[in-house]
Chains A and B, each alone.
Chain A
């Protein structure tokens, strides 16, 4: 604060830049969350992701878990999106990943975290932690280890739309349990819609990294293990997202068209 009680310009500029950045992240994470709902409705694990070309602020690829259809244990959402990017830019072009931000509803597993780091991704934003297999802090911290291409580093932003991501996983487990030939006791698997486990930010970020990303005004969220948002946006996870999915596919296709035009300017004049 300056002497007259007004926030100094540099502080307010910084905090509005943070807010704008976070709004952007929330917007893309809303898309990833809708896609995860779509995956749930189409018999897959509700984990999904969106890849954004950071400089032009456009969606260029998406991914959903595909382990059930493909019968492969490694067909995670991230790999589907990576394959789409490779199709557009050529598989050997890893330079493109320096300009790509991944939005994924659940923290990438160790395998995906390693793949993303080996490709040199710019930034990873995720919703909830992956307490069984997480590779960005929950179990291992591949993004800052020394055995996986240590010269590649990427920024990490956890906890965006975390409650929505957790709710989708709960929907999935309740459904799987109902389908199971040997369902577990009801009390074990009752759908909880109001209580969420504390968010242990320290697994993913240092206190100062948190402050850098979310702003000094939010530091109490770090200290008290609070979620960024108190409410759950049910519209993202309780609605059918088939139309959203059709639009998303078109959006990704449009991106590749625009890129394809660049090297051939003569086609525009003809």
Chain B
């Protein structure tokens, strides 16, 4: 993590563009929608705040799917000398019996157990809204637009990215007019440990109609891993789990099947060249605006960027076709 000022990359924070060429693709339509979640709260004595913080660290933090970094866990209770504290989200524990079992090991006494308080799932993008939400729902912490930090934390090897994009663009154009058994759509999977690159291309009219370039890429990474594991001198440090932390480059924005397959495969990042207006499932403006990689209900996520400009042309594909 670097300070914003020290970041060597030029970032347009307002528009989410890095080095004038990579457009961050995210579900910004919903950023200022609080997406409220219910939390379990109890009242404790003011003297127990330290024990409470310790208890949260030991028993709750690692288990709770919700993060509370943008929220003050502790606020004054209506009763003098008491605090109302957030123990955990109802996503972590849904029923009261389970909650009370968790609280059995709390090193402090408590009362007024409730699951009726709501908090925003993520912090808002502006300070004004942060104040507003603090008044309506629960006190928040303002640390700037959360997305600025997200943008600032991305790491890019631009020469490498350009080399891969240039290669998939070239391979896709070479497939035009060839009897290639599929559409001119090409993807590249980059192993995070070895930086090895696996290229895959669409084969829907030869093998299976479901053999889109991304599905084939995922399958070939798995096949290679199976082969590697069965070899007598397989080394543990080379092991890959699914496509964990892979970067995936693709010529055309993925369809609903492929966008979800990338979630199942646990990739880190996807960079695509051409938006698919009707069938794409990553860009907010494509298809049904799924923004699959940053969909709130899908707990696994990946980063997505679209390359801006015309440096890497790709073959035109009918906008109703799933890529």
Contact = CB atoms under 8 A, between A and B. Distances in A.
Contact of A114 (B226, B255, B264, B295): B255
A72 B219 contact: yes
Closest CB pairs A-B (n = 9) = A147-B287, A72-B222, A187-B101, A114-B257, A111-B260, A73-B264, A114-B256, A110-B260, A73-B265
Contacts of B218: 72-74
A188 B63 CA distance: 11
Interface of A: 70-75, 79, 82-83, 86, 91-92, 94, 109-111, 113-115, 118-119, 132-133, 135, 139-140, 142, 145-149, 184-185, 187-188
Given A91-B207, A148-B322, A72 B257 contact: no
Contact of B98 (A70, A82, A83, A187): A187
A115 B208 CA distance: 11
Contact of A145 (B97, B98, B243, B256): B256
Interface of B: 63, 93, 97-98, 101-102, 205, 207-210, 215, 218-219, 221-222, 225-226, 229, 241-243, 255-258, 260-261, 263-266, 278-281, 286-288, 290, 292, 295, 297-299, 322
B210 A82 contact: yes
B266 A73 contact: yes
A132 B287 CA distance: 22
Given A72-B222, A92-B205, A147 B288 contact: yes
A149 B256 CA distance: 10
A133 B260 contact: yes
A132 B288 CA distance: 20
Contacts of A185: 101-102
Given A73-B261, A140-B290, A147-B288, A132 B208 contact: no
Contacts of B210: 79, 82, 115, 118-119
A249 B15 CA distance: 56
A73 B256 contact: no
Nearest to A188: B98
Nearest to B203: A91
A146 B287 contact: yes
A74 B209 contact: no
Contacts of B209: 91-92, 94, 118-119
Most buried by A among B258, B264, B288, B299: B264
A92 B299 CA distance: 35
A142 B256 contact: yes
B219 A132 contact: no
A153 to B, nearest CB: 15
Contacts of B243: 73
Contacts of A140: 256, 290, 295
Most buried by A among B210, B265, B292, B295: B210
A231 B255 CA distance: 40
A135 B226 contact: no
Nearest to B267: A73
